[in-house]
């Protein structure tokens, strides 16, 4: 068994029937299914029903915790096929109930106006130390196992104060996959969607000095949106810049911009999640 998750295997689906696919969790997965996994698998399912199109946006809701010990069925609805755009809806099902749903829009590749925010001037990944093991050692045992199995390498840049944002509500991290997963742009988008869910919600907790594993914290992703702007190759380093404009009503809202190392803005994300303190910390 590999020392970390085989992402190629995780995101490979079985075709069961017309518009129906089946996905599995890694063999050693425990607790609940990682949100990025169902986002990536659902996007792959949608991709299996389109031809010569590229996803430009997706919007999804996490409805119930997923059980990693049983398969997930992905039912695709072909909502629309137009001349240059197509829309798909995907329901992820376990034990006869939806645990997640996704809507994705696809477009033919075409040229047009082009502008973007400039990549922030943060230290390069090569200048940062990989402190993964030191950070993992501070986590509870179950969390240590999961973090060691992550299929991506992450090098945090640190906290910063975004313009007009909450003090120290911003975080940035360099990330890339540990394996070269090939040159399939559709698959790379699914991988980036998988990666985009890793840690983004914690940015909304940092201003309050709590984390996922703070005693009494109840944390769960509620919804996730993503826009793909430019081609991506996840084996290369990407800078994931995040900030949290608001937290209220036991929910935290976080935004993210993902830049290639050469400065191209390849994707944008937004997520809201439950951040509830159930007992005094």
Asked whether the beta carbons of 42 and 74 are under 8 A apart, the reply is: yes
Give phi and psi for 166, each to the nearest 5. Answer: -70, 140
Question: What is the C-alpha to C-alpha distance for residues 63 and 5, in angstroms, rounded to an integer?
Answer: 25
6 given a catalytic annotation: no
Q: Residue 143 and residue 173: Cα distance in Å, rounded?
A: 19
Residue 94 annotated in active site = no
> Strand 72-81 vs strand 20-23: parallel, antiparallel, or unpaired?
antiparallel
- What backbone torsions phi and psi does residue 124 show, to the nearest 5 degrees? -75, 160
The yes-or-no answer on residue 221 being catalytic is yes
Q: Which residues on adjacent β-strands are paired with residue 259?
A: 239, 265
* Active-site choice (197, 204, 242, 243): 197
Look-up of token digits 């096929």: 81
**25, 242, 244, 271: which one is catalytic?**
271
Here the tokens at position 250 are 């036991």
Structure tokens at 153: 């390498």
Catalytic residue (choose from 221, 242, 244, 268): 221
Q: How many CB atoms lie within 10 A of CB 157?
A: 20
Contact 190, 47 (CB under 8 A): yes
Question: Tokens 């390498």 — which residue?
Answer: 153
Cβ-proximal residues to 160 (8 Å cutoff; 6+ apart), any chain: 168, 170, 171, 172
**What is d(CA 142, CA 126) in angstroms, rounded to the nearest whole number?**
30
| Active-site amino acid positions | 197, 221, 271
């Amino acid at each position: 068994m590999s020392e970390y998750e085989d992402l190629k295997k995780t995101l490979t689906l079985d075709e069961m029937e017309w518009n129906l696919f089946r996905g599995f969790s890694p063999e050693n997965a425990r607790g609940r299914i990682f949100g990025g996994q169902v986002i990536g698998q659902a996007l792959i399912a949608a991709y299996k029903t389109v031809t010569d199109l590229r996803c430009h946006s997706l919007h999804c809701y996490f409805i119930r915790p997923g059980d990693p010990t049983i398969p997930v069925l992905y039912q695709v609805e072909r909502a629309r096929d137009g001349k240059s755009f197509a829309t798909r809806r995907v329901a992820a099902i376990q034990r006869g109930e939806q645990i997640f749903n996704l809507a994705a829009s696809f477009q033919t590749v075409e040229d047009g106006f082009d502008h973007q925010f400039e990549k922030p001037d943060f230290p390069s990944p090569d200048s940062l130390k990989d402190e993964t093991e030191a950070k993992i050692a501070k986590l509870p045992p179950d969390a240590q196992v999961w973090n060691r199995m992550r299929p991506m390498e992450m090098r945090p840049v640190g906290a910063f104060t975004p313009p007009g944002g909450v003090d120290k509500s911003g975080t940035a991290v360099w990330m890339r996959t540990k394996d070269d997963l090939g040159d399939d742009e559709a698959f790379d988008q699914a991988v980036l969607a998988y990666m985009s869910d890793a840690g983004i919600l914690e940015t909304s907790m940092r201003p309050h000095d709590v984390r996922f594993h703070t005693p009494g914290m109840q944390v769960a992703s509620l919804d996730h949106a993503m826009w793909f702007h430019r081609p991506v190759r996840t084996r290369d380093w990407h800078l994931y810049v995040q900030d949290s404009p608001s937290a209220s009503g036991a929910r935290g809202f976080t935004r993210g911009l993902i830049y290639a190392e050469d400065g191209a803005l390849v994707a944008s994300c937004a997520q809201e999640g439950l951040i509830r303190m159930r007992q005094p910390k």
